[in-house]
Amino acid sequence: MDTRGNALELSEAVIKLLLNFGTDIDEYYRRFRELRVLEDNPSFQSALVNVEHAFFMLVQSANILKEQLGLIKVACEKGELY
């Protein structure tokens, strides 16, 4: 069964979702960073830094996913998968 068409449709839908998701995540990241800068308690600042780092890792993972979804498109066009 050739699932390339389905994979292509699904990957395009996920890429659109990632674009919206990225905009929202960026806003939340900015808000947490702002809280960290305003925070006086060093221990709570540390907790906020950890949250910022988790946002960074989330964005990196989303970027990797977007890249892999792009490779699905290339593979569908070429008719081969690696």
4-78 maps to CATH 1.20.58: yes
CA dist 46 and 9 (Å) reads 42
pLDDT band at 61 (very low <50, low <70, confident <90, very high): very high
- pLDDT, tens only, 4-47: 889 999 999 999 999 889 889 999 999 999 999 999 999 999 99
Residue 9's alpha-carbon distances to 25, 45, 54, 61, 72, in angstroms, are 24, 43, 30, 21, 10
Residues in contact with 52: Cβ distance below 8 Å, sequence separation at least 6, in sequence order: 29, 32, 33, 36
Alpha carbons 78 and 34: distance in angstroms, whole number: 46
